[in-house]
Structure 1
Amino acid sequence: MSRVEESIEVNVPVRTAYNQWTQFESFPQFMTGVESITQIDDTHNHWVTSVGGVKREFDTEITEQTPDERIVWTTVAGETKQHGVVTFQSLDATTTRVTTQIEWQPEGLAEKVGDAIGVDDHRVKADMKKFKEFIESRGVETGSWRGDVD
């Protein structure tokens, strides 16, 4: 398994950062390679990605979710094997640290080479910067889901 971790400080309150992250269907606006995400229900999403010319579809399940603190997910169907967690830490009333940790199984030669030379690390770092720009430019979230998942 490969692993990447990235943190970024965003200049919005923790509630705003967390609420936006629960809006999975907005991810294509700031995540490279994510073509679409369809939210099936409160804990399941269908992803369509295209990275390096490789198109994949897979389903994820949120296995843990605590408002303003963390979201944990894993793939449950499809070609991609992935597990991750995103955490939210309030640094002050208007600043939040968002940390993403993702583990995945690279498949095929292109993904294995990309992993070896750090392509995924760079992509996650760039996507976190795009999330920062996205939420800070708006100042408010596009929606929210405040439920708990145990």
Structure 2
Amino acid sequence: MSTVTESVDVNVPIHTVYNQWTQFAEFPEFMEGVEEVNQVTDTMTHWRVKMAGVTREFDAQITEQIPDERVAWHSTEGPEHAGVVTFHRTGPDTTRVTTQMDVDPEGFLENVADKAGLLKRRAKSDLKRFKEFIESRGRETGAWRGNVDRPEP
């Protein structure tokens, strides 16, 4: 299992940044390798991604969601991964976005990509493109501000 943590400062208010992040179907616009994300229910998403030339599909469940604070998830099938993205107000119109992902690469090519630092570089590039995506618009393309409570242990 590899842990990848990256942050970016975005020159947009926290509610706008958070609202945009909840628009999972827009992820292919700024996330390399993400071909499609469908929100199946309020807490379930279906992903199609390509990494190291291999296409994978999987479902991920949102395990916690607090507007303007955090979104956490874990895969329910397919490649094993989990993560959290947090949002921190750093000024009246600036927000720090931090992602932390735990990924268990499957297969030879994905393990080589992980060892070569591809996952970390991709996360950093994805956040940079997210920053450009939301800053160029200045407003979100949509929002889902519901709460998802963390399950009891």
Q: Shorter-chain TM-score: which interval?
A: over 0.9
Per the alignment, residue 88 of structure 1 pairs with 87
Q: Which amino acid aligns with 1:33?
A: G
Per the alignment, residue 39 of structure 1 pairs with 39
Given the alignment of the two structures, is residue 148 of structure 1 paired with residue 147 of structure 2, yes or no? yes
Given the alignment of the two structures, is residue 5 of structure 1 paired with residue 13 of structure 2, yes or no? no
Mapped partners of 1:120, 1:129: distance in 2: 14
Per the alignment, residue 16 of structure 1 pairs with 16
Mapped partners of 1:72, 1:88: distance in 2: 12
Residue 50 of structure 1: CA displacement? 1.0
Q: Which amino acid aligns with 2:99?
A: T
Residue 52 of structure 1: CA displacement? 1.7
Residue 51 of structure 1: CA displacement? 1.4
Q: Is this contact kept in 1: 2:66–2:148, CA < 8 A?
A: yes
Q: Which amino acid aligns with 1:130?
A: R
Mapped partners of 1:63, 1:3: distance in 2: 18
SS at match of 1:103: strand
Q: Which amino acid aligns with 1:119?
A: L
Q: Which amino acid aligns with 1:105?
A: D
Residue 117 of structure 1: CA displacement? 1.2
TM-score (normalised: structure 1): 0.98
Per the alignment, residue 101 of structure 1 pairs with 100
Structure 1 stretches of 5 or more lacking a match?
none
Per the alignment, residue 56 of structure 2 pairs with 56
SS at match of 1:12: coil
CA offsets 1:81-114 (integer angstroms, 9 cap, x no match):
0100000000111000000000011111111111
Structure 2 stretches of 5 or more lacking a match?
none
Moved over 6 A (4+): none
Mapped partners of 2:82, 2:140: distance in 1: 25
CA offsets 1:64-94 (integer angstroms, 9 cap, x no match):
00000000000012x2101000000001110
Per the alignment, residue 126 of structure 1 pairs with 125
Mapped partners of 1:49, 1:80: distance in 2: 10
Q: Which amino acid aligns with 2:32?
A: T
Mapped partners of 2:64, 2:86: distance in 1: 11
Mapped partners of 2:141, 2:23: distance in 1: 7
